[in-house]
């Protein structure tokens, strides 16, 4: 293992020290174990001191000698860490400003008229005379997979997606993913990257997973999502180019918005249009019946409801709306029951994850626009590979879009 530049080493120590303040802040660390050992044996750090250290390191970047992409990446992440230190120290930071510092994006409420149009389209796709929420609830119940069948279905989809990702994007020969079913978590799935091209993916059985969601979940967490990104960055940026800053993955940083955006677009990148019938055939071999065409149509409509959860975060943390009102808002616009809405509010209220919903909403929007903003003759795979391989941050992606004139699918 090569010795990282001094500023990069300090960045790694800083990130590890944040994990002493709030467990789970370091999502993954595959760097020098001696640095972790050093931090574990230090006194518990002062968050305000960590904020000051992040600002000082950021000021040193211009004279660090690091290449522009590395300096740009570290600048965005040190800005995020400075804000995290201030928040953990009890300083008042407005929620929109907090999100901007963490994820390099400015958020605003969604448009209820867009949500109404999405409801009208769901009404068309699920004909009947009952209220649309009742018809959607019936569809979801029919699509739900029994907990005892969950792991088998996940393994089958994972194997099929892995074959596609190996062919289209490439994977290290020794990479592996181990799945486990868990309960009592605020999320639906979670990738624990262990290093050396290995991941453990936990799937929360409490949520009542549906067959239509499983292809997205597996693509998101493993192929070509989080696991694939970690593997390719370890093989390239870390082992070949010696970018030691990529050995740590920190929550509430621009890294997260990029990772969640590319993961949410994983099924589109690996399979593309027709993923519904494709998944239905795989699950059908297990004796599971899924209406793949309908699932794909409903998923396309659901994209227009993406902003509802971010609206809920703004209501809770920016506007001071009562949680009961937020719960009702989620139920109304997402057409979900009280139990599912409560799970969302639980996630939005978690001290570590309260701002994190933005990574899914804005990450998907930004990277989908960027992936589509390519010549009609250019396939998607080379551009998606950049997300897997390069140390990109949202501001760089936005700059590329501005430079191209945001001419989606340009000739």
Query: Any residues with CB less than 8 A from the CB of 158 and at least 6 apart, and which?
Result: 177, 179, 218, 222, 223
Q: Is the pLDDT of residue 364 over 80?
A: yes
% of the chain surpassing 90 pLDDT: 91
Q: Is residue 411 part of a domain?
A: no
Q: Is the pLDDT of residue 99 over 90?
A: yes
The rounded mean pLDDT for the chain is: 95
Give Cα separations from 194 to 33, 75, 170, 341 (angstroms): 13, 26, 19, 32
Q: Are both 82 and 131 inside the same structural domain?
A: no
Q: Are both 59 and 161 inside the same structural domain?
A: no
Q: Is residue 408 part of a domain?
A: no
Q: Are both 86 and 175 inside the same structural domain?
A: no
CA–CA distance, 27 with 252 (Å, rounded to integer) = 10
Q: Are both 126 and 271 inside the same structural domain?
A: yes
pLDDT at 372: 95
Q: Are both 286 and 343 inside the same structural domain?
A: yes
Q: Are strands 176-182 and 198-204 parallel, antiparallel or unpaired?
A: parallel
pLDDT at 404: 67
More confident position, 2 or 86: 86
Split into its structural domains, the chain has a count of 2
State pLDDT tens for residues 136-183.
999 999 999 998 899 999 999 999 999 999 999 999 999 999 999 888
Domain end position, chosen among 93, 127, 148: 93
The CB-side HSE value for 104 (13 A sphere, CA atoms) comes to: 25
- In terms of phi and psi (left: phi > 0; alpha: psi -120 to 50; beta: otherwise), the region of 130 is beta
Q: Is residue 105 part of a domain?
A: no
Q: Is the pLDDT of residue 410 over 70?
A: no
Question: Model confidence at 189, in pLDDT bands (50, 70, 90)?
Answer: confident
Question: Model confidence at 403, in pLDDT bands (50, 70, 90)?
Answer: confident
Q: Are both 324 and 239 inside the same structural domain?
A: yes
Q: Are both 88 and 116 inside the same structural domain?
A: no
Q: Are both 32 and 162 inside the same structural domain?
A: no
Q: Is residue 409 part of a domain?
A: no
Q: Is residue 143 part of a domain?
A: yes
Q: Are both 334 and 268 inside the same structural domain?
A: yes
Q: Are both 131 and 19 inside the same structural domain?
A: no
Tokens of 84: 């995290």
**Which residue range is the domain that position 385 belongs to?**
112-403
> Phi/psi at 330 (nearest 5 deg)?
-65, -45
Q: If you average pLDDT over residues 246-266, what whole number do you get?
A: 98
């Amino acid at each position: 293992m090569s010795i990282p530049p001094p500023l990069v080493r300090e960045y790694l120590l800083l990130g590890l020290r944040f994990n002493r303040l709030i467990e789970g802040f370091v999502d993954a660390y595959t760097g020098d174990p001696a640095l972790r050992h050093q931090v574990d044996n230090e006194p518990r750090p002062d968050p305000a001191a960590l904020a000051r250290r992040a600002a000082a390191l950021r000021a040193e970047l211009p004279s660090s000698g690091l290449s522009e992409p590395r300096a740009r990446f570290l600048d965005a992440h040190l800005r995020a860490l400075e804000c995290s230190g201030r928040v953990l120290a009890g300083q008042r930071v407005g929620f929109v400003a907090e999100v901007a510092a963490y994820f390099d994006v400015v958020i605003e409420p969604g448009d209820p008229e867009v949500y109404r149009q999405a409801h009208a389209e769901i009404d068309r796709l699920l004909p009947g005379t009952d209220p649309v929420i009742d018809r959607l609830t019936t569809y979801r119940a029919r699509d739900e997979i029994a907990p005892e069948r969950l792991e088998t279905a996940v393994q089958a989809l994972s194997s099929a997606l892995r074959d596609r990702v190996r062919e289209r994007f490439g994977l290290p020969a020794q990479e592996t993913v181990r799945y486990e079913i868990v309960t009592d978590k605020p999320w639906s799935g979670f990738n624990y990257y262990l290093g050396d091209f290995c991941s453990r993916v936990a799937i929360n059985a409490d949520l009542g997973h549906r067959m239509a969601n499983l292809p997205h979940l597996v693509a998101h967490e493993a192929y070509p999502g989080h696991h694939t990104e970690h593997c390719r960055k370890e093989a390239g940026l870390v082992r070949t180019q010696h970018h030691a800053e990529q050995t740590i993955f920190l929550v509430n940083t621009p890294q997260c918005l990029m990772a969640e955006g590319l993961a949410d677009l994983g099924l589109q990148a690996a399979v593309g249009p027709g993923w519904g019938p494709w998944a239905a055939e795989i699950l059908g071999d297990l004796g599971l019946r899924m209406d793949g065409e309908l699932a794909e149509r409903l998923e396309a409509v659901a994209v227009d409801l993406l902003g509802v959860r971010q609206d809920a975060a703004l209501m809770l943390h920016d506007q001071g709306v009562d949680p009961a009102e937020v719960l009702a808002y989620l139920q109304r616009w997402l057409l979900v029951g009280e139990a599912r809405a409560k799970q969302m509010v639980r996630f939005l209220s978690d001290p570590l994850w309260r701002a994190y919903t933005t990574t899914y909403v804005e990450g998907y929007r930004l990277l989908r626009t960027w992936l589509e903003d390519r010549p009609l003759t250019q396939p998607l795979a080379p551009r998606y590979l950049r997300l897997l391989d390069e140390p990109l941050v949202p501001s760089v992606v936005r700059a590329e879009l501005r430079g191209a004139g945001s001419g989606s699918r340009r000739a």
